[in-house]
Amino acid sequence: MKITSAEVFVGGPGKNYVTLKIMTDQGIYGIGDATLNTRETLPAHYLTEYLIPCLIGMDPRKSEDIWQFFYRGAYFRRGPIAMAAIGAIDMALWDIKGKIAGLPLYQLFGGKSREGAMVYAHASGNDLEDLMDSIAYYREEGYQAVRVQCGIPGMPKGGGYAVADKGDSKNYITNFLGNGPKIEIWNSDKYMRYMPDALGEIRDRFGFDMCLLHDVHHRLLPREAAQFAKEVEQHRLYWLEDPTPAEDQSALEIIRQHSTTPIAIGEVFNSIYDCNKLIQSNLIDFIRVSATYGGGITSLKRIVDLAALHNVQTGFHGAPSHSPISMAAQGHLNAWAPNFGVQEYLVLGTPECDALFPSEHKMEKGFFYVSDAPGLGVDFDENEATRYEFERGYHPVTRLEDGTVWNY
């Protein structure tokens, strides 16, 4: 069996999805996602200029060897661009493998450990009242797990990270597209004085029978993060996400020394080497790496296995930047993983998105159910794809009130 061609498509409804399609001499094809949010054309070029020319003629069943060829075979390794490109190839090869076997991918991993995988929604608001309404909405929809973010009094309206990450995909997309980065103003002191009590009020209103998640989005200093994690311990968060910037891994030691609040980290990681120390030293409770810029299924599965050895659970990144292809890849891993925790999932199910990526996967009352279709169980409609083209976008840039650039 041989790979005969491969093509990259960039675009989608309000989003620059980067979709790779690999064709074989047996008529079976596979698809993969290389959507590196706000830098989408870079993995697309990496694929077309460097990787696809080497792929032609390779045996698509040798997904491990092909992964090693592109990872180990490159002198300059890792980084989100290369790993997103390798990840897309890897997803497409697993898709082909499943189609050859006539099995959904979760069966190739070892079968299902659960029927539905719990997902968490993004509840957000310009202020706490607004946030409460948003949480109530998701609770009524049946969600057991909700991430909560709200505007902070005294910070410019709409300028807090909470609002930029707003839950519904339409707002999210509007926030990310544009001709230059939107500037957001941040003040850690105001945040730290307000947010712990706000989390307490949420518990008072909704009780403890709800998995409550909160994302600090890399904004605090290590000592501040330790203090924050200690203060919110009483509210029994399901997780506190990205309390400090991910590069400074020793910061997690300071947080651990002061609090038992569960820590989730890793949405910006792209290899097992970014998280092996954190996992093996029990400095985190949930690993957030994604299939998209984490090198695909082959490398994500390796991370899941390492995490399982150390009782770290999964909580894969699932912001709307990931296309339904990588969400399907993660869906199959979630169905199988013995150490599954939760999946971030923002409903993308617009008619346009469903038309571009048809699938039978289902979201019901806060749980994701993978279909039994062979491979990834999601398709890509090339005719639909012709309706879309690339539109440049940026993440916001954060500044402190005195103008200093801060972490987004």
Residue 319 contact among ligand KDG, Mg ion, none, beta carbon within 5 to 8 Å by kind: ligand KDG
Residues in 361-390 that interact with ligand KDG by CB under 6 A: none
Rule CB under 6 A: say whether 398 interacts with ligand KDG.
no
Other beta carbons less than 10 A from residue 164's beta carbon = 21
Rule CB under 6 A: say whether 42 interacts with ligand KDG.
no
Residues in 72-131 that interact with ligand KDG by CB under 6 A: none
Rule CB under 6 A: say whether 215 interacts with ligand KDG.
yes
105 token code pair: 């991918």
Q: Tell me the DSSP string of 301-370.
A: HHHHHHHHHTTPEE-----TTS-HHHHHHHHHHHHH-TTB--EE------HHHHHHS-B--EEETTEEE-
> Could you give the string, one character per residue 149-188, with x where binding to ligand KDG holds by CB under 6 A and - elsewhere?
----------------x-----------------------
231 token code pair: 């203060």
Closer to Mg ion by Cβ: residue 40 or 241:
241
Q: CA of 322: how far to CAs of 164, 168, 303, in Å?
A: 17, 14, 19
User: Shortest gap between Cβ of 11 and ligand KDG (angstroms)?
Assistant: 17
Closer to ligand KDG by Cβ: residue 162 or 356:
162
Task: Classify strands 18-24 and 29-33 as parallel, antiparallel or unpaired.
Answer: antiparallel
Residue 146 to residue 143: CA distance in whole angstroms: 7
Binding segment for ligand KDG among 48-56, 67-75, 315-323, 332-340 (CB under 6 A)? 315-323
The residue count for binding Mg ion (CB under 5 A) is: 1
Residue 393 to residue 30: CA distance in whole angstroms: 28
Rule CB under 6 A: say whether 344 interacts with ligand KDG.
yes
Name which position in 215, 231, 274, 285 contacts Mg ion (CB under 5 A). 215
Name which position in 19, 24, 35, 37 contacts ligand KDG (CB under 6 A). 37
Phi-psi region of 158 (alpha: psi -120 to 50; beta: other; left: phi over 0): left
Closer to ligand KDG by Cβ: residue 308 or 319:
319
Closer to ligand KDG by Cβ: residue 94 or 172:
172
Phi first, then psi, for residue 150 (nearest 5°) are -145, 160
User: Shortest gap between Cβ of 206 and ligand KDG (angstroms)?
Assistant: 21
Phi first, then psi, for residue 370 (nearest 5°) are -80, 150
Residue 331 to residue 356: CA distance in whole angstroms: 19
User: Shortest gap between Cβ of 217 and ligand KDG (angstroms)?
Assistant: 6
265 token code pair: 């980290």
User: Shortest gap between Cβ of 381 and Mg ion (angstroms)?
Assistant: 30
Q: Is the distance from CB of 336 to CB of 113 less than 8 angstroms?
A: yes
C-alpha closest to that of 304 among 316, 321, 292 = 316
Name which position in 15, 217, 219, 332 contacts ligand KDG (CB under 6 A). 217
Residue 361 contact among ligand KDG, Mg ion, none, beta carbon within 5 to 8 Å by kind: none
Residue 321 contact among Mg ion, ligand KDG, none, beta carbon within 5 to 8 Å by kind: ligand KDG
Phi-psi region of 236 (alpha: psi -120 to 50; beta: other; left: phi over 0): left
Task: Classify strands 211-215 and 405-406 as parallel, antiparallel or unpaired.
Answer: unpaired
275 token code pair: 């998280």
Closer to ligand KDG by Cβ: residue 104 or 262:
262
Binding segment for ligand KDG among 81-89, 179-187, 313-321, 365-373 (CB under 6 A)? 313-321
Other beta carbons less than 10 A from residue 137's beta carbon = 14
HSE-up (13 A, CA, CB side) for residue 366: 19
Whose CB is nearest to Mg ion? 215
C-alpha closest to that of 70 among 54, 58, 94 = 54
Q: Is the distance from CB of 151 to CB of 163 less than 8 angstroms?
A: yes
> Could you give the string, one character per residue 238-277, with x where binding to ligand KDG holds by CB under 6 A and - elsewhere?
-----------------------------x----------
User: Shortest gap between Cβ of 26 and Mg ion (angstroms)?
Assistant: 40
Closer to ligand KDG by Cβ: residue 144 or 398:
398
Compute the Cα dihedral for 257, 262, 267, 273 and give only its sign: positive
Rule CB under 5 A: say whether 384 interacts with Mg ion.
no
Chain contacts with ligand KDG (rule: CB under 6 A): 37, 165, 215, 217, 267, 317, 319, 321, 344
Which residues sit at the interface with Mg ion, rule CB under 5 A? Answer: 215
